[in-house]
Amino acid sequence: PNVEWAEIAGLSEEHCIACLGGATLTDLTTKSGWEQRIDEIIAQVSNQEMPLGGPYLSDEEITLIRGWKNGGFQ
């Protein structure tokens, strides 16, 4: 799918930044933070290792993340 950063930012806000906000070593509040760690993010959400304790991302949400990566991080 054609996915833009705004969709990923929404997922990040809903599922990630409570634990991985700006004051952490893994900052997922920015587009560049996601780009730098995209393969790790995909692996961890696919294996239901993140978000810690759930609720875990749906297959559709994981597909959006993959689509954003495969589309060149638009």
The pLDDT tens digits for 1-56 are: 689 999 999 999 999 888 877 666 678 889 999 999 999 999 999 999 999 888 99
Distance CA 25, CA 27 (A): 6
State pTM to two decimals: 0.89
The answer to whether 11 touches 57, Cβ cutoff 8 Å, is yes
Query: Taking Cα atoms as reference points, which of 29, 70, 20, 71 lies closest to residue 50?
Result: 20
- pLDDT confidence of residue 17: 83
> Quick one: 17 exposed, middle or buried, by C-beta within 10 A (0-12, 13-18, 19+)?
middle
Q: What is the mean pLDDT of residues 57-65?
A: 97
